[in-house]
Amino acid sequence: MNKRILRDLKANVIKNASFVFMIMLSVMVIVGFNRSMDGYAQTARGFYASNNVEDGQFSVLGVITRSQENYIRDELGTLTERNDSIDYELEENRVIRLLRANREINEPIVTRGKPVSSDAEMLIDEKFADANGYEIGDRVEIGRHIYTVSGFGISPDYVYTIRNMSDVLNSPKTFGVGYVSDYLFDRVETEKIYNEVNSYSYKLAEGNFDYLFDYLRENFELVDLVKVEDNSRINTIFDDVGGPKKMSMVMGGLLIFIVSFIISISTANGIKRESQVIGILLAQGFDKKELVRHYLTLPMILTAIGSAVGYAAGVLISAPLINIQTEYNVPAIQLKDSAYLMLIGLGTPLIIAFLTANVTISRFLNKTPLSLLRGAASSVTVSNVEKRFNRLGGPFFFRFRVKNLLREKSGFIVLFSGVFLSAVLLNMAFYIRDSANHYITTLQNQLPYQYMYILKDFNATSDFEKKAEKTVIKNMKLLIAGDEKSVLLQGLAVDGRYYAIDALERLDDRQVVISTALRKKFGVDIGDELALFDQTKGEEYAIQVADVFDYDVGQIIFTSYSNFFKITENPARYYNALLADEDLGVNENDASAYVDKTGAMESIDALLDMLRVMSSLIISVAVLILIIVVYTLMQLILEREKINISMIKLFGYRDNEINALYTRGNIMNVLTAFALSLPVSRLAAQKFYDGIFYNMQQYLEAYIEKSSLIMSFAAALAGYFASMLIIKRSVGKIPFSEAIKNRE
């Protein structure tokens, strides 16, 4: 009997190759994306562990003395270290941030070249070097100093090399980091004023954060506090790699299920054709289990081949897929196979194929030898639904198509599922691209200023009040369902010229206006009573949402300037930020954060280039899946109906009429599946972006252009009609002799 398996493989090469290809594609997508993204995440975690990544950072007014550092280390079990940085502006509006090369916390690693060994050498991050054409050995003039690039390197706190933690994207062309000896910083230290804001990193060796926090509150004015889980430079990489992993798992898994059902339908067709032979074998004493094993062999062989080839292909493409996440500065990524990936890539398809095929085969073989000899497995049972429908009358072609749909409902359900999956992928590809385009337009239209500066010295805002509007901004945590979400609380002048928020002048005490981005992301709305948590004071403040402002650029809570200090219970009033239409020339080192609208637009344009490539790839795969699924299933249906088709040919029906009876009605499958895929693809795209921006200030809403919907629908129709053209050729090849074969 096993010789029949080899004959089946040779006789149905195209069909079996289609099965293998779809399984291979499913496994390749799952393994490729998960292996590459896991490599990214594991490399980052290993780098953080080996180079002593911080547990957080804080800013205080003044300087922690050496004796205070020793007390914090010895008594509180926490290591603290100055988090010094100096920004220098280079030509062409480029900024390089210099950090200490010699650090205990966030120790830099040399990725190429050699470490800094003199005051005249520096390391620079490799992304900045590549974008600006720097090579090892080049001389770089920074300020009044000339440095030789000894190598490329990065530290854990700048894996995502963004200028401000609130930035959406990095821009290696305009911002990078460099590492120099202590000489420059020691010289600058002598010029520092002790009432300036200074930043420190901390590492909880044996200590408790609460002890450190209490000590800082008692001895200093704590200006800012960022725990490692809230540091986008450190943690964004983990959110970013999660999106492609989840998407590949869901889409690849669904495709495996669809292919497994298609294979089981093909196997069932074979059993129906050979029902009399099976009946003879059972009558001669063959055990049912032997026959089940025999008919399971071919599906399992096809699945095993597809899984093995798909796993190997996934391993091959995992290295190129690393380039999807080009924005991160990490050491050389080590790609490794894991037990869970082998189980998913090699084991899961076999398990799914075994279960689906075994159920189908057992159901058809659960008949007596006599009934099988009489062709019970291949006989058609007319359902009550079909009988009632036949009584309604109507055009013959319409009744025939509906009858065929009812009798082949399992095949059409799988066909619908395949088209639905393809349509979801198609629409999602356009959603991903158009959402980024839409965000750029939103940023352009809604961001009211060209420049924003958050200053370290609160008194310095008065130096620019003629050219800028003063405001006050504070990082807060919004407490929602026991979880802490990062938000900005901003106090504005009621008559300010940048934010036209009419509700500001009507606010009662502790009332606020939230941005639409915050409402959409966290589900809060007008009338909600909320709690804000100030990490620098360890206190909670109650607020009430009075209105919503159309602003999708960030998670911002707006209130009036006077209300800001009532909410924060701070009697001292101050400004710490400036909004302006022109560059104020603020020294880079006097600002703790800086936003340039033009630079933000340019960095998002770089993201769009990557998304366009990703969208094109997804569209190609989706159309290919649609063609293969539609062709394979229709081929199986025609194969099962070829006796009837041959008979119809004998009655004088032309090929076009036969195609109209058996294939043309399937256009409704495409239309229905495409319509139902629209909300699902929107939800999938929203989940994709929510995963990426989960720990960031921005909210990106899923959006698609009408023209993109038309293109997506056109691509789906093109794939469907391409498969129908191939099917028409198959109908023409069915011979007249098929109808006069000896049958029961």
pLDDT for the residue 373: 66
Distance in angstroms (rounded) separating the CA atoms of residues 721 and 726: 9
pLDDT for the residue 190: 46
* Residues 491, 574 contacting (CB under 8 angstroms): no
Whether 202 and 329 map to the same domain: the answer is no
Distance in angstroms (rounded) separating the CA atoms of residues 558 and 551: 11
Is 461 part of any domain? no
Whether 343 and 428 map to the same domain: the answer is yes
pLDDT at 255 over 90: no
Distance in angstroms (rounded) separating the CA atoms of residues 413 and 305: 26
Is 257 part of any domain? yes
pLDDT for the residue 46: 93
pLDDT at 124 over 90: yes
Partners of 57 in beta bridges? 201, 226
What the block records as the tokens of 116 is 């800094």
CB atoms within 10 A of CB 607: 16
Whether 568 and 610 map to the same domain: the answer is no
Segment 34-74, tens digit of pLDDT: 999 898 889 999 999 999 999 999 988 888 999 999 999 99
pLDDT at 80 over 90: yes
Is 395 part of any domain? yes
Segment 220-232, tens digit of pLDDT: 888 888 999 889 8
pLDDT at 744 over 50: no
Whether 331 and 400 map to the same domain: the answer is yes
pLDDT at 398 over 80: no
> Which of 209, 230, 251 finishes a domain?
230
Whether 254 and 388 map to the same domain: the answer is yes
Location of structure tokens 């190598």: 151
Is 50 part of any domain? no
Location of structure tokens 């530290």: 155
CATH number of the CATH domain containing 532: 2.40.40
Domain that holds residue 159: 55-230
Which carries the bigger pLDDT value, residue 530 or residue 575?
A: 530
Instruction: Tell me the one-letter amino acid at 226.
Output: V
| Geometric angle at alpha carbon 441, from 131 and 682, rounded to 5° | 100
pLDDT for the residue 194: 43
pLDDT for the residue 392: 59
Distance in angstroms (rounded) separating the CA atoms of residues 380 and 583: 79
Residue 482: band (very low, low, confident or very high) from pLDDT cuts 50, 70, 90: confident
Is 359 part of any domain? yes
Of 634, 615, 617, the closest CA to residue 429 belongs to 615
Which carries the bigger pLDDT value, residue 125 or residue 602?
A: 125
Segment 279-328, tens digit of pLDDT: 777 777 777 777 778 788 888 888 999 999 999 999 999 888 887 667 78
* Residues 699, 438 contacting (CB under 8 angstroms): no
Whether 101 and 23 map to the same domain: the answer is no
Mean pLDDT of 406-430: 79
Phi-psi region of 77 (alpha: psi -120 to 50; beta: other; left: phi over 0): left
pLDDT at 385 over 60: no
> Which of 205, 230, 255 finishes a domain?
230
**Domains held by the chain: number:** 3
pLDDT for the residue 664: 66
pLDDT for the residue 418: 81
Which carries the bigger pLDDT value, residue 517 or residue 691?
A: 517
Whether 219 and 245 map to the same domain: the answer is no
Is 446 part of any domain? no
Whether 427 and 301 map to the same domain: the answer is yes
Segment 510-544, tens digit of pLDDT: 899 999 988 988 888 899 999 999 988 888 999 99
H or E segment to which residue 147 belongs: strand 145-154
Which alpha helices (H) appear in 274-367, and where do they start and end? 275-283, 288-321, 339-342, 348-365
Residue 248: band (very low, low, confident or very high) from pLDDT cuts 50, 70, 90: confident
Summary mean pLDDT of the chain:
82
Radius of gyration for the chain, computed over Cα atoms and rounded to the nearest angstrom:
33
> Which of 566, 581, 596 finishes a domain?
581
Of 633, 263, 692, 621, the closest CA to residue 424 belongs to 621
Using CA atoms, how far residue 193 sits from 61, 551, 591, 594, in Å, is: 10, 39, 15, 22
Residue 191: band (very low, low, confident or very high) from pLDDT cuts 50, 70, 90: very low
pLDDT at 620 over 70: yes
Which carries the bigger pLDDT value, residue 382 or residue 49?
A: 49
Q: What is the torsion angle, in degrees rounded to the nearest 10, for the CA atoms of residue 719, residue 722, residue 728 and residue 734?
A: -80
Query: What is the pTM assigned to this prediction?
Result: 0.76
pLDDT at 588 over 80: no
pLDDT for the residue 742: 47
Instruction: Tell me the one-letter amino acid at 428.
Output: M
- The terminus-to-terminus CA distance of the chain in angstroms comes to 23
Whether 372 and 488 map to the same domain: the answer is no
Whether 66 and 214 map to the same domain: the answer is yes
Whether 243 and 226 map to the same domain: the answer is no
Is 296 part of any domain? yes
Which alpha helices (H) appear in 343-408, and where do they start and end? 348-365, 369-373, 384-392, 396-407
Among the ranges given (81-85, 427-431, 586-590), the one the predictor scored with the smallest mean pLDDT = 586-590
Whether 202 and 271 map to the same domain: the answer is no
Is 49 part of any domain? no
* Residues 100, 180 contacting (CB under 8 angstroms): yes
Using CA atoms, how far residue 421 sits from 435, 619, 626, 690, in Å, is: 21, 12, 8, 21
Residue 192: band (very low, low, confident or very high) from pLDDT cuts 50, 70, 90: very low
